[in-house]
Chains A and B, each alone.
Chain A
């Protein structure tokens, strides 16, 4: 019941906003829909914590400890981003960057995008998971090109073609997986249901699953933004409206990584070689290193943080690849804190760009003087994402590094060096943006400070102590993934 509500509210919201999305109150409707989704997700989470994993509608949907925390995270960030988007889009409208028609498209697609991500998380069918991931691309592609500038059109085209091609590889992988599963479970709808596959994972044909996993990793990896498949990501983040950058970075990348991890569990069951883990470690490490080096060259602030997202998804992918209860626990924590911190950073960056009229780093100076909320938000957010204690990113990165020292000692110096490079690059660019001299005036309207500081407070809390129920929740999920 709660599960249906979680899926139905964004669909209804999307349809409703397709009609009234241009009205002045549409942003409030968007916030209300997102809040209703969050409430339903909270109920669903409560139910799962009380009664354990559940399946619904002839096993077409299922919830366990792994996806329920991503569902609540997605619904939560979806809501806070909607709150931010209300302030942000009003200013964009006043600056004459958007017409009413485009706002209608934006609001309707925002809800549809939330739906596709929640569907991807909640479905039990690996085929539907693919369909939902592709639909998530389709709903956001017109949002990336919302401003219709030449650059944004290019970014959207790149996003569309690269993710389309990537996700086609994932479909081939899913077909191969179905082929292997049909040999055990018989052909028919059941052979793609995860709850059935997990029971027979040891009987699946290893050679087929090896090939399938390569295709799945390349396919969904394109959406995670793993190097060398990351080309679309900085462009799409930099050219789209900032609320969309926040949800792409904070949520979509997580959902794509979720798809990889779900498939990895099956492949690990069939193979004894640990090939899936090694492939993920290699892709993850490459992403961390390449992204850290590219951070130095960025002149656009949104591109800077887009590369930082690649880096952090690389860290999480590496940790999932390493496997074991501690590393997986840390990876799940890292997904959570990265999602919260990065969306908070995009909120501040979005307002900063509105204030100064440019996204170029050298054009943004002295945020603390004119808009302390934005300035301090950006500074604290950057320190958090760079892994400074006492924020949550420090906790997850510390766990990942100590596990790596024990399990994969060769990788630790590479990771540490990359983190150091990233720290120097981001800090040296953010510091003058926050504390430099400025002549720019303050923002005409108050910025959305609630989402920024709510996210940062949560990240701070996760760094200082992790509530017992959350920890046991992560541990249960880690046990599922193995």
Chain B
């Protein structure tokens, strides 16, 4: 195994580890740090792949990741929770050990699902496709098991991280124009989430999405 491959595997396992750490994290503040850390791993991984393959546009997308997911989005989220004076811990719908067990099952499922694709991929990063899919599913799990709005949003953004990782490992990244478009969507999405938090709190005096349970089929 070459050094590049070892580095990529290291980053991939870090991605998965952070995804699990997010799942088990109870404090919102730490959740944001973990999200930033995942972004940093993602950017480093993209740089390594770029250096190995000589794909110029990957440097751009690494820089974009660093700017967006390590600096800008965590900063927006920190500001938000300061402005909204959120100090509470994360509440979950299912207790954390159970969530972790479900997470393990999901990762096994992801690995199984990607076996046929991994066999076809000629990229140096192909062994990490299963991990990428696993982190998407773990973020998805976090999104559906959290009760408060902010952790849900972080789950949403972590899912985007997983997808980005998948794109890098399967195909050395999407075409530049698409990546820019996706980055724009994520940024605008986060801003709208931010505006939304204020609306929700204005109306309900809380960010517990349990208040959002009026609309049901009766």
List residues of chain A with CB under 8 Å of any chain B CB: 60, 125, 127-128, 130-131, 134-135, 138, 141-142, 145, 148-151, 153-158, 160-161, 164-165, 168, 171-172, 175-176, 178-179, 182-183, 187-189, 191-192, 205, 207-208, 211, 235, 238-239, 294, 297, 299
Contact = CB atoms under 8 A, between A and B. Distances in A.
A157 B136 CA distance: 21
A171 B203 contact: no
A127 B140 CA distance: 22
The 5 closest A-B pairs by CB, nearest first: A127-B178, A131-B181, A154-B212, A189-B175, A179-B170
A148 B189 contact: no
Contact of A128 (B167, B177, B213, B214): B177
B184 to A, nearest CB: 7
B196 A148 contact: no
Nearest to A182: B171
Most chain B CB atoms below 10 A, which of A155, A176, A297: A176
B170 A176 contact: yes
Interface residues of B, number: 50
Contact of A155 (B176, B188, B203, B215): B215
Contacts of A207: 116-117, 120
Interface in B180-211: 181-182, 184-185, 188-189, 192-193, 195-196, 199-200, 202-204, 209, 211
A172 B166 contact: yes
B189 A138 contact: yes
B67 interface: no
Most chain A CB atoms below 10 A, which of B133, B211, B217: B217
B203 A175 contact: no
B113 interface: yes
A157 B200 contact: yes
Contacts of A176: 117, 170
A330 B209 CA distance: 43
Given A142-B195, A150-B214, A182-B171, A165 B113 contact: no
B23 interface: no
Contacts of B14: none
A179 B202 CA distance: 45
Contacts of B199: 145, 148, 153
Contact of B143 (A142, A161, A182, A189): A161
Contact of B120 (A134, A135, A208, A297): A208
A299 B181 CA distance: 41
B152 interface: yes
B156 interface: yes
A215 B147 CA distance: 26
Contacts of A187: 55, 171-172
Given A134-B185, A157-B200, A175 B174 contact: yes
Nearest to A181: B171
Contact of A154 (B117, B167, B215): B215
Contact of A127 (B175, B195, B204, B212): B175
B46 to A, nearest CB: 15
A142 B192 contact: yes
B192 A138 contact: yes
B121 interface: yes
Contacts of B124: none
Most chain A CB atoms below 10 A, which of B113, B166, B212: B212
A138 B133 CA distance: 25
Given A150-B211, A168-B159, A172-B163, A179 B121 contact: yes
B146 to A, nearest CB: 11
Given A153-B212, A187-B172, A207-B117, A175 B217 contact: no
A294 to B, nearest CB: 7
B178 A125 contact: yes
Contacts of B167: 175, 178
A189 B170 contact: no
A228 B43 CA distance: 36
A208 B160 CA distance: 21
B212 A158 contact: yes
Contact of A135 (B172, B175, B188, B200): B188
Nearest to B174: A127
B185 A135 contact: yes
